[in-house]
Structure 1
Amino acid sequence: MMKNKIKKTKLLFYFFIVLIFTFTQFSLPGHAEERSEPIILGKHYDIFRDPSKKITIEDLLSGTYNKSFVASKDDYVFFGHTNDTIWLRLDTEKILKDKQKSYWLEVTDKLDSIEMYLVKEDGSYRVQKRGISNVDDQNIHYRSNLFQIQEPSVKEIYLKLDGELPLSSISFLFATDSFINKIIDYKYLTGMFYGFLLALLIYNLFLFFSLKERAYFYYVLYIFSFILYQATLNSLDVELLGKFLPKLFFIKSSAISGNLLLLFMILFCKEFLELKKYLPRFHNFGNLLLWGTVLSLIASFIIPDVAITNNVTIILAVVVFIFLWLSGIFVLLKGQKMARYYMVGWTVLLGSIIVQALAFLSIIPFHPVIFEEVPAVGAIFESIFLSLALGDKINIIKKETQEIQQILNESLEYKVKERTQELENAKLELEKLANTDRLTQVPNRVRLDYVLEEAFEQAQHHETTFSIILLDIDYFKEVNDEFGHQVGDLVLMNVAQILQNTIREQDTVGRWGGEEFLVICPQTTLDEAVKISEKIRQQLENYQFPIVQRKTSSFGVTSYVNGDTRNTLLSRCDKALYQAKEQGRNCVEFLTDDVNDKISCT
């Protein structure tokens, strides 16, 4: 029984991996047909480096330094830690197709100071200041540095990059409508990403309070520190706290959060893999890395040179990740199966972080995907597999508890039962997850089969009846084809919510498969079930779905009669659904034996 539940839990996690893969492959396409593609500005720049840091915009406009500008060859320009002031020049004739329109220039990098000079044809200019030093100057509450271009007479644009942070320009030019859609998409995907990590954090915090295992506590701290690190990497700290905390915090936030992440990674690894028991030398080396991380964290606050602390943190991160990976390998070689999922997760994350570090050190080409999608995908996969690893450890603890129960005397019996109860609570929680459709949060087919079996037993032993309703979302494939699977998922979630809000308390609704939902109505006649179906049909027809607006469903209804089996009942209901589709969809059809009637059709 326990093995079957473990298998169900693993299958649930594998299914979730597929969802995450889909999530990373498709952005939200709600306005894809209306949206104009942004211009990547990297290769449009002319670049000038000012080692003196004294050259002004007036000096540049005088023409003295025109020959010092060099055309960029890269889509994304990256200069790393430098003492130079970087000037970037854009010719508006090449990038602004219609100067009468309003445009937005977005620089996604976290920068100390960035200034944009809009130079008009008469030589006058207007300046917009952004970056950490000028966070109050940006009116729109957003993580990127945003500049608005709406003067038709603008001839050239100059960007001035300066400060202690690495200087780079991942920059894009948007038309206003396209930029609004881009912000909506980003907010949606960011919410999905951080929502997943927060849900995982809360769930494992629950397991920690239930099981009192320190590995769960360190894992919760690790997830929390990763959320902080990713937020600082994506400039969300500036977006959320830019007007409340001093500039120095944001200058050093990446190094601080990075060292916290390393600290809790080491603590989790040492506890989960039980290095002191299986690999004493690795345990001692882990202690050295732990102290090294603490010193690096303290240095992040004390040392004024941000370049030093950032580079030390990156080098330390590579060493720590290799150590954690090798620790898992050697523990696995010692026959500890709990390390197998740990190794898969850590391998994915190690690869993503190493790629990130190599790009930051300019060893491989700089690209925004390395700092956006790569760590996000790595973190999600790693979190899933570490959760599986912790699940393995639950089973190991359970086996150890059972062995202890056999040899302990009566004075320890109470504690053993208490520990077993804690494990049973965790099992019940996992079983609940295994019986729930992850996307729609309604019962899945496994749970519906169980409820249907109970309804049959009740009807056969007590000579009562029950009804079932099978509904299919009309032309659902067209939603996926036209708008993408993300929008299709939104439709499924909304339909599930409407069904839950419409059915009676004693009814059970669940996802039968794909775009089909099944409603089981105990002690319900066919006429009553038809009325329930019609009520649901009207609710769906009148509901305004996001993006797709209107979506209808077809219904098949039938009731249990003596002699019915599970297959005959479902087959009859499916036949009624087929007839509803034949009648033009968006209607309710029912069957009792070979007699059918159409209730409503729109």
Structure 2
Amino acid sequence: MMKNKIIKTNPLFYFFIVLIFTFTQFSLPCHAAELSEPNILGKHYEIFRDSSKKITIEDLLSGTYDNSFVTSKENYLFFWHTKDTIWLRLDTDEILKDKQESYWLEVTDKLDSIDMYLVKEDGTYSVQKRGISNIDDQNIHYRSNLFQIQDPSVQEIYIKLDGELPLNSISYLFTTDSFINKIIEYKYLTGIFYGFLSALLIYNLFLFFSLKDKAYFYYVLYMFSFILYQATLNSLDIELVRELLPKWYFIKSSAISGNILLLFMILFCKEFLELKKYVPRFHNFGNVLLWITILSLIASFIIPDVMITNNFTTIFAVVVFIFLWLSGIFVLLKGQKMARFYMVGWTVLLGSIIVQALAFLSLIPFHPVIFEEVPAIAAIFESIFLSLALGDKINIIKKEHQEMQQTLNETLEHKVKERTHELERAKIELEKLANTDRLTQIPNRVRLDDVLEEAFEHAQYHEAPFSIILLDIDYFKEVNDEFGHQVGDLVLTNVAEILQNTIREQDTVGRWGGEEFLVICPQTTLDDALKLSEKLRQQLENHQFPVVQRNTSSFGVTSYLDGDTRNTLLSRCDKALYQAKERGRNCVEILIDDANVSSSL
């Protein structure tokens, strides 16, 4: 019941989350419209690339390289991994509207080293050093590189970009008031975004403990690694844990967090899509990608060249995403409906990652939206749809289990019926074995007692005629003595067969004991029983027995009289048989009552 409740409330939970997020997104522009718009500095820069890496600020101030600066045509500068030192120059008269105002210049990119030189009218300058190499020099704990401009005598600004990380410049100029408002807006949006992802993580962790499904566990790890990767991409690691981790980690953090994300992403998708069951080849290829990811993660720590690890991780991520997207397609084509929501979420996220990769590789124009708004929106949609996919999978599995249970019940019911029939057949067979003489295969004395009881009761209550015939094989002991018991057994089986084939349909014949046989004749008068006995006697007399050739039998016949019991009836029939033997055997004797005896042939 707990599982059913969890799955049913899942879509409702996400509906309210999306509703709150949508509301806040629509309400933000109204708040942001009141803020002073920052000045995007990209097109205000003049750019100079120092391939020698030896030129100093003094060299630039000497005017020797003035003609080497090229005016920028882009709002956002992107140089990716380069061995050059990048120099940027700004004219304060162009960007500072009021030099008496205090300004903040923000460079949002994660950089190894970024130095700002504030050059005054007299040629002197001051330096502010930022970046990972100078992480302790920035007093404000913030994700971006912040530079303060508050000296009205500053005429030019030079910015030097250098180091192992990609050299980019997404930079803005704020007044102090607008910068404070910008931080408030940033904290607000960041809180919503990471709060939403954390809520999904905690919720699915609860589902894992409730359902014990490994897919939820891998999804929680995937969500955690995605939060880590996105925080690294937005330089939140520098803002939050700058004093806890070594500087080299921040330089390599993108490749490290990216590989961790790929690792848990592959594990989750393999488990959720059940590739081993539905698409074994993709499962095997997924294992190969998994090992490559682990090796790439290890390489991110030990390879000193950050450009190699960053480039490989970026290209490899695109390969992994395409593979996992195709995995979903093939599982869906196999008829597994659980891949429906997976494909929607994965398609959205795959699109955003491919866009990021293309921007990293300079195949499309570089823009901060690609690394902030696009992945944020894609992550939210992907997280929602993957969680819905997990719920959908549980519902599908539950339905399949119900169908399997129903099939199992039907199969079990069918087997129970079959077993019941088998038991009934076995019971009939056992009863037959218990009531059949093993040698002659005709009813034994146990069965004859039952039939005799039924016929006796019927004659008593319905006043119907009822007769019995008792016969004995003549000189049977001599047959056994002279020819052996095997020949005697053949005589017994021949006699049983003759009797079985000669009696009427309503009659019952059985072995009474030894060489004696009893014929029970319901609805039969004494005269009819006499005629039947004579017929049987003649059949036996004329039969050619194995080895002994000829053998006869003696018959005693009687009928039921009022006041008879089973014992008196059988006793009278036995006396009639005794009379037949006394009269020379091979004849039929009838005994009407204890006082009147008449004989036949």
- Please, what TM-score do these two structures have when normalized by structure 1? 0.65
Matched, 1:38 2:38: yes
Alignment of 1:132-281 (within 5 A): 132-281=132-281
1:240 shift after superposition: 1.1
Q: Secondary structure at the match of 1:117?
A: strand
* Bigger Cα displacement from structure 2, 64-73 vs 19-28: 19-28
Conserved? CA contact 1:110–1:144, under 8 Å: yes
For residues 93-126 of structure 1, the C-alpha deviation after alignment (integer angstroms, 9 at most, x for no partner) is: 0000000000000000000000000000000001
Q: Secondary structure at the match of 2:304?
A: coil
1:25 shift after superposition: 5.5
Mapped to 2, the partners of 1:381 and 1:100 lie a distance apart of 46
Mapped to 2, the partners of 1:196 and 1:190 lie a distance apart of 10
Amino acid at match of 2:275: L
Q: Secondary structure at the match of 1:173?
A: strand
Conserved? CA contact 1:132–1:242, under 8 Å: no
- RMSD value, Cα: 2.1
Conserved? CA contact 1:47–1:70, under 8 Å: yes
Mapped to 2, the partners of 1:125 and 1:84 lie a distance apart of 24
1:3 shift after superposition: 10
For residues 203-222 of structure 1, the C-alpha deviation after alignment (integer angstroms, 9 at most, x for no partner) is: 11111111111000000000
Conserved? CA contact 2:21–2:192, under 8 Å: no
Mapped to 2, the partners of 1:265 and 1:308 lie a distance apart of 22
The structure-2 alpha-carbon separation of the partners of 1:26 and 1:53, relative to structure 1 and needing over 3 Å to count, comes to farther
Q: Secondary structure at the match of 1:160?
A: strand
Mapped to 1, the partners of 2:247 and 2:43 lie a distance apart of 31
For residues 398-448 of structure 1, the C-alpha deviation after alignment (integer angstroms, 9 at most, x for no partner) is: 234445656889xxxxxxxxxxxxxxxxxxxxxxxxxxxxxxxxxxxxxxx
Mapped to 2, the partners of 1:313 and 1:293 lie a distance apart of 9
Conserved? CA contact 2:108–2:145, under 8 Å: yes
Mapped to 1, the partners of 2:246 and 2:5 lie a distance apart of 54
1:9 shift after superposition: 4.7
For residues 368-420 of structure 1, the C-alpha deviation after alignment (integer angstroms, 9 at most, x for no partner) is: 000101111111100000010011122123234445656889xxxxxxxxxxx
Conserved? CA contact 2:42–2:170, under 8 Å: yes
Equivalent residue number for residue 96 of structure 1: 96
Conserved? CA contact 2:80–2:167, under 8 Å: yes
Mapped to 2, the partners of 1:368 and 1:5 lie a distance apart of 39
The structure-2 alpha-carbon separation of the partners of 1:172 and 1:386, relative to structure 1 and needing over 3 Å to count, comes to same
Equivalent residue number for residue 599 of structure 1: none
1:13 shift after superposition: 3.3
The structure-2 alpha-carbon separation of the partners of 1:320 and 1:5, relative to structure 1 and needing over 3 Å to count, comes to closer
Mapped to 2, the partners of 1:408 and 1:351 lie a distance apart of 44
Amino acid at match of 2:229: Y
For residues 458-509 of structure 1, the C-alpha deviation after alignment (integer angstroms, 9 at most, x for no partner) is: xxxxxxxxxxxxxxxxxxxxxxxxxxxxxxxxxxxxxxxxxxxxxxxxxxxx
Q: Secondary structure at the match of 2:104?
A: strand
For residues 261-288 of structure 1, the C-alpha deviation after alignment (integer angstroms, 9 at most, x for no partner) is: 0011100111000000000111111111
Matched, 1:333 2:343: no
Equivalent residue number for residue 62 of structure 2: 62
Mapped to 2, the partners of 1:247 and 1:362 lie a distance apart of 27
1:302 shift after superposition: 1.1
Equivalent residue number for residue 10 of structure 1: 11
Mapped to 1, the partners of 2:69 and 2:18 lie a distance apart of 48
The structure-2 alpha-carbon separation of the partners of 1:253 and 1:176, relative to structure 1 and needing over 3 Å to count, comes to same
Amino acid at match of 2:233: L
Amino acid at match of 1:334: K
Q: Which runs of 5+ in 2 are unaligned?
A: 410-601
Alignment of 1:348-363 (within 5 A): 348-363=348-363
1:241 shift after superposition: 1.4
For residues 130-172 of structure 1, the C-alpha deviation after alignment (integer angstroms, 9 at most, x for no partner) is: 0101111101111000000000100000000000000000000
Mapped to 1, the partners of 2:113 and 2:4 lie a distance apart of 58
Matched, 1:367 2:367: yes
For residues 241-265 of structure 1, the C-alpha deviation after alignment (integer angstroms, 9 at most, x for no partner) is: 1122211100000000000100111
1:15 shift after superposition: 5.5
Conserved? CA contact 2:7–2:394, under 8 Å: no
Equivalent residue number for residue 500 of structure 1: none
Q: Secondary structure at the match of 1:157?
A: strand
The structure-2 alpha-carbon separation of the partners of 1:330 and 1:407, relative to structure 1 and needing over 3 Å to count, comes to closer
The structure-2 alpha-carbon separation of the partners of 1:141 and 1:4, relative to structure 1 and needing over 3 Å to count, comes to closer
Equivalent residue number for residue 77 of structure 2: 77
Q: Secondary structure at the match of 2:63?
A: coil
Mapped to 1, the partners of 2:107 and 2:80 lie a distance apart of 16
Amino acid at match of 1:123: G
Mapped to 2, the partners of 1:261 and 1:6 lie a distance apart of 26
Equivalent residue number for residue 543 of structure 1: none
1:336 shift after superposition: 0.8
Alignment of 1:458-477 (within 5 A): none
Amino acid at match of 1:350: L
1:88 shift after superposition: 0.2
Amino acid at match of 1:183: I
Conserved? CA contact 1:24–1:377, under 8 Å: no
Equivalent residue number for residue 419 of structure 1: none
Mapped to 2, the partners of 1:288 and 1:235 lie a distance apart of 31
Q: Secondary structure at the match of 1:109?
A: coil
Q: Secondary structure at the match of 2:281?
A: helix
Aligned residue pairs total: 408
Equivalent residue number for residue 28 of structure 2: 27
Runs (4+) of structure 1 moved beyond 2 Å? 1-33, 396-409
Amino acid at match of 2:14: F
Mapped to 2, the partners of 1:9 and 1:207 lie a distance apart of 10
Mapped to 2, the partners of 1:24 and 1:349 lie a distance apart of 20
1:31 shift after superposition: 6.3
Mapped to 2, the partners of 1:369 and 1:240 lie a distance apart of 23
- Please, what TM-score do these two structures have when normalized by structure 2? 0.65
Mapped to 1, the partners of 2:344 and 2:59 lie a distance apart of 56
1:36 shift after superposition: 1.9
Amino acid at match of 1:10: P
Amino acid at match of 1:349: L
Equivalent residue number for residue 307 of structure 2: 307
Conserved? CA contact 1:24–1:373, under 8 Å: no
Equivalent residue number for residue 342 of structure 1: 342
1:21 shift after superposition: 4.4
Mapped to 1, the partners of 2:323 and 2:61 lie a distance apart of 53
For residues 291-338 of structure 1, the C-alpha deviation after alignment (integer angstroms, 9 at most, x for no partner) is: 111111111011110000000001110000000101111111111111
Amino acid at match of 1:160: K
Equivalent residue number for residue 321 of structure 1: 321
Mapped to 1, the partners of 2:219 and 2:124 lie a distance apart of 57
Equivalent residue number for residue 588 of structure 2: none
Amino acid at match of 1:166: P
Conserved? CA contact 1:81–1:167, under 8 Å: yes
Identity of aligned residues (%): 80
Mapped to 2, the partners of 1:301 and 1:289 lie a distance apart of 19
Equivalent residue number for residue 420 of structure 1: none
Amino acid at match of 2:105: L
Conserved? CA contact 2:38–2:173, under 8 Å: yes
Equivalent residue number for residue 455 of structure 1: none
Amino acid at match of 1:390: L
Amino acid at match of 2:265: M
